[in-house]
Amino acid sequence: MNKHLIIIFLLAFSVQTSFAQWTKGKGNGYYKLAAWGLQYDQHYTDSGGIDPNATRTIINTIAYAEYGISNKFDVIAYVPFFASTSQNNQVSGTTGELITPGESFNSFGDVELGLRYGLYKKGAWAADVKLTLGLPTGDDSGGSDGSFQNGDGEFNQYISSSLGYSKSFTNTNLYLKSYLGFNNRSQGFSDEFRTGLEVGLNVLNNKLWLISRLNILRSFKNGSLNATTSNGSIFANDIQFDSFGFEASYYLTKKLGISLAVDSAFSGEVVAAAPSFTAGLFLDIK
């Protein structure tokens, strides 16, 4: 793979769904241990086309937590405590000879810490605002060519607001949620606008949540880093995408459950053209 191709699918949208994300309430919490994986051999270019690349695999093991410190405030943590990036051997299609040996790099990932405040909650409607700080705790210079990073090396501040609606029917719960956000990035990265929609349906006597989501990210392209020559970093500047995802979360008990999810960009720039998959075990205390 050309080290100047900078490609990744953002992790934040893969594991942070906790059934509408209303404020939890004092003493309540949602905790999740998840594995997220992406394997891709093609990517969206900086002009939106699709080009091939050497097969790369990214796997992250993540701890995610939300805890209500009051009825209005939640604290949130996203900790990718094991992040792995690897690339397959590159072999000649005509001679079968090894061109470039495969490689892998493992490290800690970039941590995100957040605070959510419940602005409004009445009847079926709820609104909140959230501040998330992205900490550069991952390695941004991994691998022999510098393109196996598990962090972007920059401190960012993401502020967002969401509006949601929930309704209960006989043995069925439904919620709808939309959000808007602005991500202020440092170290020459462009700032970002994010928005999305999510819908969730609870069935099987409240045991199964079926969730679908649309996420949109747009770069302001106001940074100083070149999106295609950022020292081979897989955490690119000027990423843009439209992605669609599905998740199923099943309660084994009233508090403990398992979840499976798939998300994929259906258009984009400087992003993997392949689906990502997430499997998790969660504990929902309310």
Between the CA of residue 243 and those of 15, 51, 54, 270, what are the distances in Å?
14, 18, 23, 13
Architecture of domain 12-285: Beta Barrel (2.40)
The pair of structure tokens assigned to 34 is 């998840």
Q: pLDDT, tens digit, for every residue of 107-123? A: 999 999 999 999 998 88
Position 37 pLDDT exceeds 60: yes
- Say which residue the tokens 């196996």 belong to: 148
The pair of structure tokens assigned to 47 is 């002009």
* Spans of all domains in the chain: 12-285
- Say which residue the tokens 């394997």 belong to: 39
Position 96 pLDDT exceeds 90: no
- pLDDT at position 130: 96
Q: pLDDT, tens digit, for every residue of 144-187? A: 777 788 888 899 999 999 999 999 887 789 999 999 999 999 99
Quote the pTM value. 0.89
